[in-house]
Structure 1
């Protein structure tokens, strides 16, 4: 049996199966996607081929780049099932019918190699039933791998094994799913609904029931059971609209038919006439004509909400949910609020936490698995046991007991203790035997949050910090809101360079947060503009240029490690790094033109240098200048690390990490690999086209203007950008030094920042989070 997975087969080209195949392809691994032969049989591979074609047009995109789609081989189970023999893992993702799955397994067993993993993506059928009647050899190779939709973006993968499953097979699938597919693997027991969907369905049902029973509006219910609880702001009704109202009866039927008769879910499962009516009329949520919320096109796309009592739509109203501490994450204050707000919060939260607590150890072996499943599968900020710690385990147990409700055994074990604690710089969890155990990270996982528990920063100010991450490597962390960049960040970079030079080997620029950096702190910049502090703004631009070039020419390697959003100044710092180790989900770009400005911290020169050195670029100064102008003037942002490479925001040899939890470790290893024999890069010179180039760029922009793709003020901003990229005012420019280009960039930025229409764009971005097209 091979210890590596070199090719995967996915059977079932529906939304989930196709999405899983796309993620395998995103990992750079060939994948065979099979489905049935359609009835008309004009094209026997039509279903699988159609799925790939659809995914290439879908938003959010299942593929990280169009080139990934080339790794998907399509076929059908009548003509191509024998190709399973080429695969190391077969994933079944067909309809949730036991007879169909079992029939398919018999056919798979006839053609697969011994030791090839076979898994089902089921979320409802127990493993024991799936393998009933199959050979011992097949049962050794079989497990459940429950992906969450959409497979590219949802990090949770629940793995379920049976008593006969070969531990080596399961370990191989887990390693591949972790490192190659980017999943956080949670081991679940073979119980109905596993972990996340079992708790999630119970939570949703409680929320629906309580809103109907208490006479709440949909808006108020979602205002309570949304952000104040640390769950997605959609709330419960909004979430049901998102996943599909028609899914709810299927989940309910599955759980009621498979859960033990004494499970609390049976007591809350209901048939709701309004929901049945909505489904019958096509109001199935966002994928249908609308759901609990809808846009009324006949009323000018007016936002409307259904009235739970009458079943009629009305204009959406603003709900005034919990305020004060109760609205800011204080769960005890929330459930103790007088009136409907507190009553509803307790009905949903109290019931859900009690249910989750009762599922250890039947559904999962420990509290960490439960919490990880809900955070990753349902995007909760805190897992059930982390929420219980906020309420107090003893308080929760006492309230449940006072209401005559059963108290889960694990709450009795905890007593007045917490489920999580920090001891000797390590995070620990409370186990079922009443002792605390260290939370162990898989090999190759390094978290800055763990390092912070056991150490103090080497340097720190209000916007950044420097941490020793071991083996002579330090990490530069941004700490402001959205990791925005300001003068304090630049100051700390300048202070860090001599410290690293004297005592360490390399530096990594990294944040634990979901987004690397949203760029410069626009709020501070706008404040400076409003008081006409032009000198302070120019000082910030010059300081940023100096700090970033300081990193670029430092006598040690600097590696950027971005994930999520890395735009504006956040993109520019990465352009100055010796190398980048990026998370696969990287949304990177120079977006300053969208707020009426241009990149001011050296990004223009770094992009020019990359495109001028690009092997595929035609000779002469103009092709590279035109390419950078196109990318920057349109505020292009990559939709993945793969696309960032296509745009040259990343170099071809920059690394990509699929699993977010492995990013810091991988970046540290990359930094260490550059230490021996390291020499700082030489400053580039730029061949620029001067007046003729500026004119050509202006003509290109004018074409977009005539097509309505560029506004009047876009033309002003793009002309300023063209002036920088072409080398300034000279009639003919041959070579420009890096210092000269930085000066030109700085002067042009300062000219634009004084423009009233740029100021209006900045204000609009701060107020709405969206660019203004003026």
Structure 2
């Protein structure tokens, strides 16, 4: 994986001890960063002494979602065993312990680690339940200085939260070295936590889940009703409460409950909500542990072809029924309206929010240095859209306190300290948070973090329309941001690209294409295309086609560097704009692909030619025109989407020279640095010339498609679409000796795209994608 422009801290090798789900996942994420890992576990089979660790690697290689980002990462994980290989931890700069949550076993292991580790090496535990002070009891001063807790969340590749706990003896420089590595190389947002039971996210999150489950039973709600109330309206992931429990595993909750009830004082609010339910105990006894078991609160009945939900009263499964969201503002994020709603809706919403938000406010000074840590922990660890104090702001701290008083519940002092003030505010263009001393202070980002969400508080866009905006991000660099739904691309985006090129050429040095949406871009606005089709507005469609091609080529040949900075999905036209950039600085979790064939089209904004050019230069590919054509056809015809930036490089969407940023928060700064590095001596690329195999090459591709058709792997219309793609990639009717220009390939793309768009079968695919989000196999 390419090194990000800002470099990496010095951790050259890591050892993970414990090859369970978490340990193996941590090892995989370290390997994703390009760092070699020694993965150790116990000896179970004398004939295969490292078999436990080896089996763990084999298991995660097959897992979905995949812990490894690319094929090469797995080769960086070396399986071993504690009995034979523990002395080798002397090779490592960081030793991560991720064994079973038993204090005696951890302490015994640390005694062995202390005898073998290098003097500078950090040692950390992935524990979420055992205090740091207990872990290091009996260890030397040197060991204590190099020890900390690093609590990863599962799965480690995808969950960005890392709670870090340092002890009173921990060397601050060592803690900084490890947290800097975890931030830049592993992509984690670091949340410092105090050495208290459950730390931050699990302490609050467990009470939240327990309160929600209890209230559903007490109020007689179905699981669907509960998830409809305590899901989207509260900014909780679409799974809702019971769907989330299925995802993490019902069997985990009793262990967490036992740990917290044993470690928390009798007066802690969690003690009052921690209770088991006979229905859930019966589910666990029957192996109904959630998605990893035979089902949970929900299950997919494949025989009946339907999703089912469990009846909390009878314990029997029945067809799942989509519960309607709360009516009016209550269903659209108005928390005050939600908790005031009549009947079960308001009662359940308050039964979840009241205890959770008051618990967070009462705990805050005990578990964290500031409220930002608590908000970040819940947003990153539980995928909440808003943190607890952001939710309190939406209700009003004074109003929350008043309702708690009215029902006779304790009111956390922090709520009275805030009073009518918000915990978060913007003052003179700067984000500020309310401290435990009652004073506001500026929110300070880590060095190297640059976010549009901060810039837009104090500045206005240089250019803006309904679908895009252009921002000055400093040092002569501007950022082009897509702003439409799903960051879809339309004529407004293309128009702003033209304006941006003129402005940058006149006043700036470089352009970065970047946004902070969940996805970089879902591609062209298919809804707009379908509307134009319904109106028979073919001139408008042809105008959008030509406008996109012209805008992308104008970016490619602009007299200044252009850097694409994707994160999340970059599909169709979103992928094509990246292919026209001088360089790409991609977030590691970038899912890139030319997916047009899935909706019955072919890439129409220059993607075919750009992919041919990339594959033609791919190291190790045989010479001649056909190998590159065949590879591009293989990738594009089945709408392949990379599952990471590393895989995007393997598929040709990224070049070997393109960079990867592991931490999403650092993507804009890294892309800006890459753009500035290209400024001196910059010259636009020379236009390519293509020699393509023509009808002979197309015949070979057609033969392959017919083979797939005969095997039932492609539908009749798949073959039609693939035929049009083959016609473009092989150069149409041109002979291999005849050179083709980019303009020639663009003309072939337009011809194929418009011909397919006229076909009712393509129109049916587009309509199905818009309505269901899934491809139609017609």
For 1:508-587, what aligned pairs fall within 5 Å after superposition? Answer: 508-587=512-591
Task: Say if 1:92 and 1:121, in contact at 8 Å, map to a contact too.
Answer: yes
**Partner residue, 1:622:** 626
Q: Is 2:676 the counterpart of 1:685?
A: no
Task: Say if 1:586 and 1:640, in contact at 8 Å, map to a contact too.
Answer: yes
Give SS of 2:365's match.
coil
Q: Is 2:770 the counterpart of 1:759?
A: no
For 1:29-40, what aligned pairs fall within 5 Å after superposition? Answer: 29-38=35-44, 40=45
Give SS of 2:299's match.
strand
CA apart distance, 1:154:
0.2
Task: Say if 1:690 and 1:733, in contact at 8 Å, map to a contact too.
Answer: no
CA apart distance, 1:3:
7.0
**Partner residue, 1:335:** 339
Give SS of 2:342's match.
coil
Task: Say if 2:9 and 2:181, in contact at 8 Å, map to a contact too.
Answer: no
**Partner residue, 2:294:** 289
Instruction: State how far apart, in whole Å, the 1-side matches of 2:123 and 2:33 are.
Output: 19
**Partner residue, 1:18:** 24
Give SS of 1:304's match.
strand
Extract unaligned runs of 5+ from structure 1: none
**Partner residue, 1:181:** 186
Q: Is 2:345 the counterpart of 1:362?
A: no
Instruction: State how far apart, in whole Å, the 2-side matches of 1:208 and 1:689 are.
Output: 64
**Partner residue, 1:415:** 419
CA apart distance, 1:401:
0.9
Q: Can you list the C-alpha shifts for 1:171-192, whole angstroms capped at 9, x where unaligned? A: 1110000000000000000000
Q: Is 2:285 the counterpart of 1:267?
A: no
**Partner residue, 1:324:** 328
- Deviation larger for 321-330 or 458-467: 321-330
User: Which of 136, 143, 147 lines up with 1:142 in the alignment?
Assistant: 147
For 1:329-408, what aligned pairs fall within 5 Å after superposition? Answer: 329-408=333-412
**Partner residue, 1:231:** 236
Instruction: State how far apart, in whole Å, the 2-side matches of 1:368 and 1:585 are.
Output: 25
CA apart distance, 1:320:
2.3
Extract unaligned runs of 5+ from structure 2: 1-7
Instruction: State how far apart, in whole Å, the 1-side matches of 2:723 and 2:36 are.
Output: 45
Instruction: State how far apart, in whole Å, the 2-side matches of 1:280 and 1:356 are.
Output: 33
CA apart distance, 1:733:
5.4
Q: Can you list the C-alpha shifts for 1:17-41, whole angstroms capped at 9, x where unaligned? A: 0000000000000000000000x32
Give SS of 1:56's match.
helix
- Deviation larger for 76-85 or 431-440: 431-440
Task: Say if 1:10 and 1:93, in contact at 8 Å, map to a contact too.
Answer: yes
Instruction: State how far apart, in whole Å, the 1-side matches of 2:100 and 2:697 are.
Output: 59
Instruction: State how far apart, in whole Å, the 1-side matches of 2:740 and 2:620 are.
Output: 23
CA apart distance, 1:687:
0.6
Q: Is 2:60 the counterpart of 1:60?
A: no
User: Which of 126, 134, 150 lines up with 2:131 in the alignment?
Assistant: 126
Instruction: State how far apart, in whole Å, the 2-side matches of 1:297 and 1:577 are.
Output: 45
**Partner residue, 2:315:** 311
Instruction: State how far apart, in whole Å, the 1-side matches of 2:600 and 2:345 are.
Output: 44
Task: Say if 1:56 and 1:66, in contact at 8 Å, map to a contact too.
Answer: no
**Partner residue, 1:458:** 462
Instruction: State how far apart, in whole Å, the 2-side matches of 1:395 and 1:225 are.
Output: 20
CA apart distance, 1:326:
0.8
Task: Say if 1:13 and 1:48, in contact at 8 Å, map to a contact too.
Answer: yes
CA apart distance, 1:743:
1.1
Task: Say if 1:727 and 1:733, in contact at 8 Å, map to a contact too.
Answer: no
Task: Say if 1:414 and 1:434, in contact at 8 Å, map to a contact too.
Answer: yes
Give SS of 1:372's match.
helix
- Deviation larger for 268-277 or 304-313: 304-313
Q: Can you list the C-alpha shifts for 1:251-308, whole angstroms capped at 9, x where unaligned? A: 100000001221100111112111111111111111111111123345x143222221
**Partner residue, 1:162:** 167
Give SS of 2:366's match.
coil
**Partner residue, 2:4:** none
Q: CA RMSD in A?
A: 1.1
Aligned length: 771
Q: Can you list the C-alpha shifts for 1:465-502, whole angstroms capped at 9, x where unaligned? A: 00000000000000000100000000000111111000
**Partner residue, 2:3:** none
- Deviation larger for 300-309 or 564-573: 300-309
Q: Can you list the C-alpha shifts for 1:704-751, whole angstroms capped at 9, x where unaligned? A: 111111110011001101111111134655310111111111111111
User: Which of 434, 443, 462 lines up with 2:447 in the alignment?
Assistant: 443
Instruction: State how far apart, in whole Å, the 2-side matches of 1:668 and 1:732 are.
Output: 41
CA apart distance, 1:321:
3.2
Task: Say if 2:691 and 2:736, in contact at 8 Å, map to a contact too.
Answer: no
Instruction: State how far apart, in whole Å, the 1-side matches of 2:569 and 2:189 are.
Output: 21
CA apart distance, 1:115:
2.2
Task: Say if 1:494 and 1:547, in contact at 8 Å, map to a contact too.
Answer: yes
- Deviation larger for 263-272 or 27-36: 263-272
Q: Can you list the C-alpha shifts for 1:667-686, whole angstroms capped at 9, x where unaligned? A: 00000000011001111110
1:101–1:392 CA distance, 2 compared to 1 (3 A): same
Instruction: State how far apart, in whole Å, the 1-side matches of 2:170 and 2:267 are.
Output: 29
Instruction: State how far apart, in whole Å, the 2-side matches of 1:271 and 1:745 are.
Output: 62
For 1:647-658, what aligned pairs fall within 5 Å after superposition? Answer: 647-658=651-662
Task: Say if 1:691 and 1:732, in contact at 8 Å, map to a contact too.
Answer: no
**Partner residue, 1:109:** 114
CA apart distance, 1:114:
1.5
Give SS of 1:462's match.
coil
TM-score (norm 1): 0.99
CA apart distance, 1:584:
0.4
Instruction: State how far apart, in whole Å, the 1-side matches of 2:418 and 2:765 are.
Output: 54
Instruction: State how far apart, in whole Å, the 1-side matches of 2:55 and 2:711 are.
Output: 33
**Partner residue, 1:494:** 498
Give SS of 1:428's match.
strand
User: Which of 186, 203, 212 lines up with 1:207 in the alignment?
Assistant: 212
CA apart distance, 1:324:
1.6
Give SS of 2:347's match.
helix
Q: Is 2:260 the counterpart of 1:250?
A: no
For 1:635-654, what aligned pairs fall within 5 Å after superposition? Answer: 635-654=639-658
- Deviation larger for 318-327 or 634-643: 318-327
Q: Is 2:713 the counterpart of 1:709?
A: yes
Task: Say if 1:593 and 1:633, in contact at 8 Å, map to a contact too.
Answer: yes
Task: Say if 1:689 and 1:734, in contact at 8 Å, map to a contact too.
Answer: no
